[in-house]
Amino acid sequence: MRSLQRFSTAELTPSNGDTVKKVLVTLSVIALLGGVAYLQRAVIAERIMAKGLQTRLGADIVDSFDDGLHLALCGAGGPLPAPNASGPCVAVVAGKRLFIVDAGTDGLRNLGRMGYAAGSIEAVFLTHFHSDHIDGLGELATIRWVSAANTEPLPVYGPMGVTQVVGGFNMAYALDEQYRHAHHGDTVAPPSGAGMTAKPFAAPATGTLTTLFDEADLKVEALAVNHAPIKPAVGYRFTYKDRSLLISGDTSKQDNIRQFSQGVDLLIHEALAPNLVNMMHEAAEAADNEILAKITHDILDYHTSPVEAAETARDAGVGHLLYYHIVPPIVFPGQETLFLNGAEDVFPDYTVGQDGTTFFLPAGSKDIIHSRKSL
C-alpha cells in the first residue's frame, strides 16, 4: 500500500506534451476528413439524394398509421402570411382514408412535406367559400390527379355554392389539363380524372346534422355555424369507430358547436384574438391606413375568441381543444400568451396549432396523442 502511495498525480497522468500531440493529431484528422468531405460534397450529396428519393417517392405516411382517427393541420393560419401558419387546411385520416377540410394556400405542399400522398385524397370538404379557404383547391386537385393517374375527378363537398366554385376552378384549369395529357398521355394524366366534381348539400338547420358519409365505420356530418354575412357556412364532425372530432370552420361562438361537440375527443376550433386585432386597428388608424383599419374593425364580429372557444370546449366536455385559423399569426416569443388572453385558465387541455400539428386518436382507446408539434 505504501509503495502505491509514492506515485504522484503527475506520474499517473500523460505529460502536457503528449496531450498537445494527441489534440493536434485529432484536429489534423478532423481537418483532413473535412477537406475530403468538402471535395467530395457533390458525390456525397448525390448518394444522400438518391437514397432519400427512393424512400420519399415510395412512401405514404398513412401506411404507417395504426387504426384510428388522425388529424393534421396542413394549414393553421388565416389570410395573413406568417411562418408555420399557411391558409386553412385540415387533413383527416379515418383508418386509411384521407380527407381534406378546406384547401388554403400551401396546404397541399405542407401535406407533401408531412409525407401524405396527394393521390390518395378521397374527397375535400369546404366549410365556406372565403378565398383563404379555397385558393389552393386547383393545385390540390391537379396534383391529386397526376400523382396517381386518378381516373375519377376529385369529389368536393360543400353547401350550396360549391358547384359555382368547382365550375370556376375547372374552367380555369381546363387548358392546363389539356397540356398535361398531351405531354404525358393516359399513363400520368387520364382525361377522365381531371378536375373536380361538386357534391352540394343543403346547409343543415341549427340543431340538426346533415350526414354526408355513413359507411365502413366512418360517419361525416355537417353542422351549421354563423359566419354572417358569409352564408352558408358549416363545420364538420368525423366519427370513426369509437373516436370523434369536430372542425368548426370560421364562425362566431355558437351553441350549435357546443351541442354537437358533446364528448368528442378533439375539437378543432378557429380563434381570433380581439385584443391583438384591436392593437392592429389602432396602429392602422395611427398610420392613416383606412383599408386596414376598416378590415380590423369588421372581422371582430364573425370569429371566435380563444376564451370563447375554450368556453365551448369546457361546456361540451371535449377531450382536447386545438386552436387553428390563428388570427393574427403568432410570430414572436410571448405572443401566444397574449393570444390566449386567459383562455388557458378556462380550458387547460389545449394546443395552439401550427402547420404540421398532428394528433392521433387510436381506435379502442381513450388516448389523445399529440404526435407532432409542427413542420
The domain that contains 305 carries what CATH number?
3.60.15.10
The per-residue pLDDT of the chain, averaged, comes to 92
For residue 41, the enclosing domain spans: 2-52
Q: Both 110 and 42 in a single domain?
A: no
Q: Both 41 and 66 in a single domain?
A: no
User: Mean per-residue pLDDT for 136-163?
Assistant: 98
Q: Both 18 and 162 in a single domain?
A: no
Domain count, the chain: 2
Q: Both 168 and 140 in a single domain?
A: yes
DSSP code, position 88: S
Query: What confidence category does residue 25 fall into, taking pLDDT thresholds of 50, 70 and 90?
Result: confident
* Entry pTM: 0.87
* Domain endpoint, select from 52, 67, 92: 52
Q: Both 24 and 170 in a single domain?
A: no
- Residue with more model confidence, 209 or 57: 209
pLDDT value of residue 3: 43
276-to-111, 157, 302 alpha-carbon distances in Å: 29, 34, 16
Residue-wise pLDDT for 167-177, tens only, equals: 999 999 999 99
pLDDT value of residue 21: 77
Q: Would residue 301 show up in a list of annotated catalytic residues for this protein?
A: no
* Domain endpoint, select from 52, 74, 92: 52
Catalytic residue among 102, 106, 132, 250: 132
Number of H helices, E strands in the chain: 15, 15
Q: Both 23 and 159 in a single domain?
A: no
Share of the chain above pLDDT 90, in %: 81
pLDDT value of residue 35: 75
Q: Both 48 and 71 in a single domain?
A: no
With 0-12 CB in 10 A as exposed, 13-18 as middle and 19+ as buried, what is 222? buried
pLDDT value of residue 50: 59
User: Mean per-residue pLDDT for 47-59?
Assistant: 58
Query: What confidence category does residue 9 fall into, taking pLDDT thresholds of 50, 70 and 90?
Result: very low
Q: Both 81 and 210 in a single domain?
A: yes
Q: Both 140 and 158 in a single domain?
A: yes
Strands 68-75 and 350-352 come out as unpaired
pLDDT value of residue 10: 44
Residue-wise pLDDT for 94-137, tens only, equals: 999 999 999 999 999 999 999 999 999 999 999 999 999 999 99
Please tell me the distance from the alpha carbon of residue 92 to that of residue 247, in angstroms, as a whole number.
Answer: 10
Please tell me the distance from the alpha carbon of residue 247 to that of residue 268, in angstroms, as a whole number.
Answer: 5
The full DSSP string for 151-193 is SSPEEEEEETTHHHHHHHHHHHTHHHHHHHHHHH-TTT--GGG
* Domain endpoint, select from 30, 52, 74: 52
Residue 211, number of CB atoms within 10 A of its CB = 12
